[in-house]
A and B are shown apart, each in its own frame.
Chain A
Amino acid sequence: MSNTRRPLNALKIGTVALVALALLPHVPGLGSDFGRSLLSQMGIAVVFALSYNVLFGQTGLLSFGHAVFFGLGGYVAIHVMRAINHGLPLPMPLVPLAGAAGGLLCGLLLGAAMTRRAGTIFALISLGVGELVYAAMFMLPGYFGGEEGITASRTKGFALFGLDLGSQLAVYYLIAAWVLIAAGLMQAFARTPVGRMCFAVRDNAERAEFVGYDTHGVRCIAFAVGALFAGLAGGLHAINYEIVSADAVSAQRSGTVLLMAYIGGAGHFAGPILGAVTLTWLQTSLSGYTSAWLLYLGLFFVLTIRFAPGGLAGLILMHGPIFHTRSFRRVLASYGIALVPTLVMACGAVLLIEMSYRLSTQPELGSRMRLLGIAVDAASVWPWLAAVLMLAGGFLGFRGTWPRVASAWERASEEAGAHRAVEAS
Chain B
Amino acid sequence: MLELATFSLLNGIVYGLLLFMLTSGLTLIFSMMGVLNFAHASVFMLGAYLSYQVGLWVGFWPALVIAPLLCGLVGAGIERYGLRYVHKSGHVAEILFTFGLSYLIEELVTMIWGRNAVANNVPAAVDFPLFTLFGSTFPAYKGLMMVISVSMLVFLWLALKRTRMGLVIQAALSHPSMASALGHDVPGVFMLVFAIGSGLAGLAGVIGGFMLLTQPTLAHAVGPIVFVIVVVGGLGSLAGAFIASMLIGILQTFAVAIDYSLVDLLRALGFVITRSTPSYEFLSIKVATVAPTVPYLLLVLFLIVRPRGFLGKRDV
Contact = CB atoms under 8 A, between A and B. Distances in A.
Contact between chain A and chain B defined by CB under 8 Å: yes
Interface of A: 60, 62, 64, 113-114, 116-117, 119-121, 123-125, 127-129, 131-132, 135-136, 139-143, 251, 255, 258, 262, 292, 294-295, 297-299, 301-302, 305-306, 309, 353, 356-357, 360-361, 363
A332 to B, nearest CB: 27
3 nearest A-B residue pairs (beta carbon): A298-B103, A132-B296, A295-B107
Given A62-B92, A124-B230, A302 B292 contact: no
Contacts of B315: 117, 119
Given A136-B293, A139-B285, A299-B104, A125 B231 contact: yes
Nearest to B114: A360
Contacts of B282: 140
Contact of B103 (A124, A297, A353, A360): A297
Interface string B280-306: 011001000110110111011001100
Contacts of A139: 285, 289-290, 293
Interface string B214-239: 00000010001001101100010000
B220 to A, nearest CB: 7
Nearest to B289: A139
B82 A306 contact: yes
B83 to A, nearest CB: 10
A121 B107 contact: no
Contact of A120 (B86, B224, B316): B316
Nearest to A301: B100
B95 A113 contact: no
Given A128-B227, A305-B86, A353-B111, A113 B281 contact: no
A156 B220 CA distance: 40
Nearest to B91: A120
A356 B290 CA distance: 39
Interface residues of B, number: 49
A132 B114 contact: no
A326 B95 CA distance: 40
State the majority secondary structure of interface residues on A. Answer: helix
Contacts of B296: 128-129, 131-132, 135
Given A142-B281, A255-B99, A298-B104, 18 more contacts: A120-B91, A120-B235, A124-B36, A128-B295, A128-B300, A132-B296, A135-B292, A139-B289, A140-B282, A140-B285, A294-B103, A295-B104, A297-B103, A301-B103, A305-B96, A353-B111, A356-B112, A360-B111
A60 B95 CA distance: 13
B89 A119 contact: no
Given A120-B316, A298-B100, A127 B227 contact: yes
B27 to A, nearest CB: 12
B97 interface: yes
A120 B107 contact: no
6 contacts: A125-B299, A128-B300, A129-B299, A302-B82, A302-B97, A361-B111
Contacts of B112: 356, 360
B195 to A, nearest CB: 20
B91 A119 contact: yes
A116 B307 contact: yes
Contact of B303 (A125, A131, A306, A357): A125
B263 interface: no
A361 B91 CA distance: 35
Interface string B98-113: 0111011011101111
